Chains A and B, each alone.
Chain A
Amino acid sequence: MKALMMVFALSTVGCTHMRSLSVTTIPQDRSQPVEAVADRVIFFGINASNEYVDVLVDRLAEQCPKGKVSGLLTRTERSLVFPLVAHRVSVRAQGFCVAESAGAE
């Protein structure tokens, strides 16, 4: 019985649940998709800061140096790494790099 419970618990490793999401205006020009992820493995629920998320904007900007990232779908996910011990929080952002033009509104 204990072995069965252990197998069941381990089989849930990687199970992912979405905590929140947000969507911004989807642009007309979708020729250049961009994507970035920021994540952290948290042990025993102890997490001192959420600054790991701050790199997300920089990573998106790096992929779109001469434009604007628009049509952003941002998802916050929680995945099980090891039952009771560790879980991963991931923030995924995907969008499109739109070249800035002189006639932009």
Chain B
Amino acid sequence: MSVLLWAAMAGLGCVHSHHMTLSGDFDLPAELSEARTVKAEASQSVIMGFAKNTDYAKDAYERLGATCTNGTVTGIQTRYSTKLGFFSWENHIKMWGYCFD
């Protein structure tokens, strides 16, 4: 019984916390079918809670902009989650959008 319990509980070690998913406005300069999908992501590893900034969010945002340098990115969906671990965790941001060049 205890072995099964250990096995069952150990399987819960690799878990994530989903903080939020956001959907931005759709400001369409043209038909949506003319857009191409772009995406970007960034993450931050944190050990024992030591993290001095949240620049990974800015990094994801700038990378998304960089995928559509001369265009407009709209309808941006953002996912913010954390992979939990042994006295450490990894914050993760992923963004998708529609790029109108």
Contacts and interface: CB of A to CB of B under 8 A. Distances in A.
Interface residues of B, number: 32
A20 interface: yes
Contact of A73 (B29, B57, B91): B57
Given A23-B78, A105-B29, A11 B61 contact: no
Interface residues of A, number: 23
The SS class assigned to the A binding surface is strand
A25 B58 contact: no
Nearest to A27: B72
Contact of B50 (A15, A20, A73, A105): A15
Interface of A: 11-12, 14-18, 20-28, 30, 71, 73, 75, 77, 94, 105
5 contacts: A21-B93, A23-B24, A23-B76, A24-B25, A27-B72
Given A20-B19, A20-B20, 12 more contacts: A15-B51, A16-B51, A16-B52, A18-B57, A18-B91, A21-B80, A22-B24, A25-B24, A26-B65, A26-B73, A71-B65, A73-B58
Interface of B: 19-20, 22, 24-25, 27, 29, 49-54, 57-58, 61, 64-65, 68, 70-76, 78, 80, 91, 93, 95, 97
